[in-house]
Structure 1
Amino acid sequence: MRIQISLAVFGFLVSFATAAEPGGAFRAGFAACDVTPDAPVPMWGYGARHDVLSQGVHDRLSARVVVVEAGEMRTAIVGMDLGRGPTTAMMAEIRRTLAPRRFAGILIGGSHTHHGPVIELTDAPGRGRGKFDAAVAYARDLPAKLAAAIAEADDRLEPVQIRAAAKDVSLNRNRHSKRSPQSTDPRLTVIRLDRPDGSPLALLVNFAAHPVMRSPELLEFSADYPGAMRATIEADLKAPAVFLQGAGGDMSPNPPDEASKGPDEFGRLLGLAALEAARSAKEADPIRPTIAVAVESQRFGLRLDLANPINRVLYGRAFFPELVENVSAEFDGGMTLESTTVLLGDSIGLIGLPGEPFHAHATRLRERADLPFPLILGYCNGHFLYLPTIEAASEGGYGADPRMSPIALGAGEALLDQALIALYRMRGKFPGER
């Protein structure tokens, strides 16, 4: 494996923040902000729409923030009703704004709704200026809005206990593989944060399935099924819910019957399953109040030359030129992928990946991590298209061929190995290291 990685990886950066001392307690805070555009802008997700502008709002989009602190360690976890995580430039701005607060790690993930706005357009000729000024303004203002919500949650810290539970549900399907039987990741995991009196502060829900249940022809903004899932949870729990998309690159919703085929009906069904898991979590032992964080980067080569003018023209026809110019610039000469690994106590591992990881990355992580709740948060802190497994790439097809997965083969495996090492190192499993 070390030889394989050396072929794919051209650089490596890492920073670790150590766990807080045992004892004390967790503190946590919640905040939310509306991220629905105020004006018509191009919509994210379906290439066939090209640059057609949005035509209103079906249901509003939000970003929901939970900040967790133990001792002097603090991390922010954000779930957004957007197609992807913030761009590299946006993440840099958010971190600069929040630098005085000394966050060890920040995880900002998109739900991957295909009824959100394009956020990549910038104020430059041929990249948005003059043609898509409303979208440029939206993208310009988004980092400050997210940073303000994170700061608000940080200002609301109060004592909590954290518990988790998981169950398997047959609510997603493999949309890519032709192999039989088709594998899936049925795991639904919830993390509940409860005040000392037992009342819930928030519930985090991790599940893998594309939010693509509303028609592509609908040009209105929508959170898709995660919005209905949250509403179902909140009506019962009387506390906010945060959806954290999992390794959903090859996972689609799998309604069990005709009655649950719509996004609202499917979201309600998933919400009821999450509530059942939340009741189990309430009876679980609280996790030890410590936090450890690793923020690491690796640079990978490409399977496709995105600087080639022919490829840019082809991508421009498939999507639209201004979007492709911004994305291609970010991928120039290779891709630097950042992963953020957060360990809560000895039980919960959160691994944020900036792309669309295939589900087998998550199932293999659970097999290897020796941890009760190791979770992948996809579409987190960026978006570098699909991260298929090596086996999936060998099958080809949408999401696994070089057009939509231009990153070097084995990149997903390398990122997961990196995170796995971090999880073991945080728990002191490599004695004798200097």
Structure 2
Amino acid sequence: MPGKQSPPQMLRIAMLTLMLLTPVLAARPAIYAGIARTDITPPMGSPMYGYASRTEGAEGVLDSLTAKVLVLKSDEAAVALVSLDVGKFQSPWLHDQTQALGLDHIILLSSHTHAGPRFTDDFPQPEATWQQTVEQRVLAAIKAARKDLFPAAIAVGEGSIQVGYNRLRRDPDGLATTLFENHDHIPYGPLDPTVGVIRVDDNKGRTRAVLVNYTCHPVVLGPRNMRISGDYVGVMKRRVEAGLGGRVLCLFAQGGCGDINPMHQGRSQPVDYDADYALVVKVGELVAGEVLNILGRMEGTKGSSAQLRARTEVVTVGHRWEPGKTLRLGVASLLINGEVGIVALPGEVFHTLQVELKEKAALPHVYLFGYADMARQDWPGYLPDVASAARGGYGASDSGVAEVGTGERLVSVGLVQLYTLREMLFAEPQKGRRP
């Protein structure tokens, strides 16, 4: 019959069609992303976070506070990372919305600024608290980011800058002395000066978001400051966004800064807001400069969209000071493109635990996100490593309620999560694997 194709011809056509389609199928991105931001600057009179000596409410605003959302979605996981300019933020209510939002995980990341609001059950009024307002705004931002997903590629770069010092000075007798202030700007160590930058591009190669991970307490502004500010973190984010042309969302994830303070601190007395805030700008611009340097070195580096996996679990630990009492603490891990590992922990993690995580994770890029809320959980306060707890000092021998060793245990849980996500650990014995 005219026009009839023989079986060999049909086979060749099928193979050619498959070959033509294969690049298209291979190019399909595995990761999609969405971004959004919302203002969370509190009303005047808001209680302030971070210093017990402050008994009055905020009397002004030095710079506005934001919550920024980065949604990452693949066939294996859907995660909302929410970066907030606050000291601490927990929201069981938001976590209850996770499934309805089409997500598997919501990770709330507080910058830990000590010039932000302290959430109470009666401000500005009991029936409409600032906590509830922030929750509603964050929910709307997550919905906006989730609704407007784009094919994404992720690239990672790192640099280093030291703007902080270890405030628990190790003395010859084996104990620690707490140095809240450092007038001589002595770079006491040890610490982790790494600046981690996660760049999120769209399928046209345009950078849409940058997530910065750095480790230093945002306490350039001190206890006499009565004005709202994101501290150096807020300045850093604005400078990075401006340096990238104002079209990019910059988020921040605080590291394990439980024992790390900034060397430059605004402690004028009487308070000189111009002088103190100038130091905030100085520190923020130093960190922003390194972030922009890293991004400059990353130019020409194409991002990958190969894989996103995530895992969250809640661990029960003992109370440090009340025998028989327990705490429920969350641990969340992300694995991106098989080479970026993120472990998010609650509380004020000491930098030594961050270093331990990086040493043991055996990945090219490893980041610890502290001050994280990823589940209905308790709050541990400070999480020192065992050796620091033994040496003592602020946050090591007080101000933490989790039993000694909890920090190492949570890091271990995070490591197990990462190795499980990498398919190197299994729920059942694996016969035949190399010993």
* TM-score (norm: length of structure 2): 0.80
> Cα deviations across residues 165-224 of structure 1 (Å, max 9, x unaligned)?
111222221112425873101111000011222221011000000111123212111000
| Partner residue, 1:296 | 313
Distance in 1, Cα, partners of 2:332 & 2:386 = 22
| Segments of 4+ moved more than 6 angstroms | 258-261
- What amino acid maps onto 2:253 in structure 1? L
Tell me which residue corresponds to 1:415.
410
Q: Which runs of 5+ in 1 are unaligned?
A: 1-20, 123-127, 307-331
**Deviation per CA, 1:106-141, whole angstroms, max 9, x where unpaired?**
21111000011112x22xxxxx4xx86379611232
Q: Compare relative contact order (CA 8 Å, sep 6+) and give the higher one, 1 or 2.
A: 1
Q: Secondary structure at the match of 1:159?
A: strand
Report if the CA contact (8 A) 1:349-1:423 is conserved. yes
CA deviations on 1:14-44 (whole Å, 9 max, x unpaired) are: xxxxxxx996332111101111112412110
Are the structure 2 counterparts of residues 261 and 362 from structure 1 closer, same or farther at C-alpha, using a change threshold of 3 Å? farther
What is the aligned partner in structure 2 of residue 433 from structure 1? Answer: 428
C-alpha distance after superposition, 1:291-338 (max 9, x if no partner): 1111111111122239xxxxxxxxxxxxxxxxxxxxxxxxx9321101
Q: What is the rounded CA distance, in whole Å, between the counterparts of 2:130 and 2:276 in structure 1?
A: 37
Look up the match of 2:367.
375
The 2-side partners of 1:102 and 1:198 are apart by 27
Aligned to 1:270: 287
Q: Is the CA contact (8 Å cut-off) linking 1:85 and 1:354 kept in structure 2?
A: no
Larger deviation: 161-170 or 131-140? 131-140
Write out aligned runs for 1:158-177 (5 A).
158-177=150-169
User: Which residue number in structure 2 is paired with residue 29 of structure 1?
Assistant: 34
3-state SS of the aligned residue for 1:232? Answer: helix
Match of residue 40 from structure 1 = 45
Identity percentage of aligned residues: 29
Deviations 1:148-171 (A, max 9, x none): 111111111111210001112222
What is aligned with 2:419? 424
The structure whose Rg is larger is: 2
Distance change (3 Å), C-alpha of 1:135 and 1:300: farther
Query: For the Cα contact (< 8 Å) 1:349–1:373, is it kept in 2?
Result: yes
Matched residue type, 1:416: V
Is the 2:221–2:276 Cα contact (8 Å) retained in structure 1? no
Query: In 2, distance between residues paired with 1:36 and 1:150?
Result: 18
Match of 1:202 among 192, 209, 215: 209
Structure 2 counterparts to residues 275-354 of structure 1, below 5 A = 275-305=292-322, 333-354=325-346
Secondary structure at 1:286 match in 2: coil
Number of equivalenced pairs: 374
Partner of 2:183: none
Equivalence for 1:397 = 393
**Cα 1:175/1:296, change in 2 over 3 Å:** same
Q: Is the 8 A contact 1:386 1:399 kept in 2?
A: yes
Higher helix share: 1
Sort the Cα spacing of 1:30 and 1:335 in 2 relative to 1 into closer, same or farther, 3 A. same
| TM-score normalised according to structure 1 size | 0.80
8 Å CA contact 1:290, 1:345 repeated in 2: yes
Q: Alpha-carbon deviations, 1:401-433, whole Å to 9, x = none? A: 1x3012100001000000101101111113683
Paired residue for 2:100?
A: 100
- In 1, Cα distance between equivalents of 2:408 and 2:211: 26
SS in 2 for 1:25: coil
Residue 261 of structure 1: CA displacement?
Answer: 7.3
Amino acid at match of 2:317: F
Tell me the residue number matched to 2:82. 78
Closer, same or farther in 2 for the Cα pair 1:179/1:290, shift >3 Å? farther
Partner of 1:53: 57
Aligned counterparts of 2:342 and 2:45: Cα–Cα separation in 1? 35
Cα distance in 2, alignment partners of residues 179 and 201 from structure 1: 46
- SS at 1:233 equivalent: helix
CA distance in 1, matches of 2:310, 2:30: 17
The equivalent of 2:256 in structure 1 is: 247
**Residues 1:64 and 1:147: Cα distance change in structure 2 (over 3 Å):** same
Q: What letter corresponds to residue 389 of structure 1 in structure 2?
A: D
Tell me if 1:223 matches 2:230.
Answer: yes
Q: Does 1:184 align with 2:191?
A: yes
Measure the CA separation in 2 of the matches of 1:166 and 1:138.
Answer: 36
For 1:94, give the aligned amino acid: L
What's the offset of the Cα at 1:260? 11
Contact between 1:105 and 1:342, CA under 8 Å: does it hold in 2?
no
Structure 2: distance between partners of 1:304 and 1:338: 20
Cα deviation digits, residues 20-70 of structure 1 (max 9, x gap):
x99633211110111111241211001111x32111211111001111112
CA distance in 1, matches of 2:162, 2:371: 22
- Kept after mapping to 2: 8 A contact 1:113/1:223: yes
